[in-house]
Amino acid sequence: MKKTISLCICLFFLSACGDKAIVNVYDKNILKTPLPCLKLTVFPKNEMIQKTMEGLYTFDKSCPYHLDITHKSGIACNSTQNVQTKCINGFPSSYLNMEVRKGLSLKYSYYIDLMSDVTEEDVKKGFERLNDDLVLAG
């Protein structure tokens, strides 16, 4: 019985350290067909994200596939309905969202809540996941 309880506690702590990103694949074909290129859009503009991404991949401004990166920092929730979440788990203060689209059609998305401002490491980790999930040419 003690071993079972110890195992459950260990699994609980290990799961708390995992990647909490949410990945959605809206078009399963995108997982099989290599993407010939990507066009990058960062909104709102952020030089650190732009330069980090340009260091990881060669983007093509004329590509029909768009990698749209949105982010926000300084998120604050003043609602008293979230007091328990803020006290126990902490409340995210920023997010990073990466979406692959062709035209207006959403193909893939990666989203993560962050406890601090978006860092270069967060951007690299997100693109690494995207690159692992999709077949990128180039």
pLDDT tens per residue, range 71-128: 987 655 544 454 454 444 565 679 999 999 999 999 999 999 999 999 999 999 999 9
Q: What angle do CA 36, 95, 92 make, to 5 degrees?
A: 155
Residue 4 inside a domain? The answer is: no
Domain that holds residue 58: 22-131
Residue 15 inside a domain? The answer is: no
Residue 2 inside a domain? The answer is: no
Give pairs for 89-93: CB < 8 Å, separation 24+: 90/115, 93/117
Residue 17 inside a domain? The answer is: no
Residue 74 inside a domain? The answer is: yes
**Of the candidates 89, 86, 95, which has an alpha carbon nearest to the alpha carbon of residue 113?**
95
Residue 100 inside a domain? The answer is: yes
Please tell me the total count of domains within the chain: 1
3-12, 15-24, 125-134, range with the lowest pLDDT: 3-12
Residue 103 inside a domain? The answer is: yes
Residue 14 inside a domain? The answer is: no
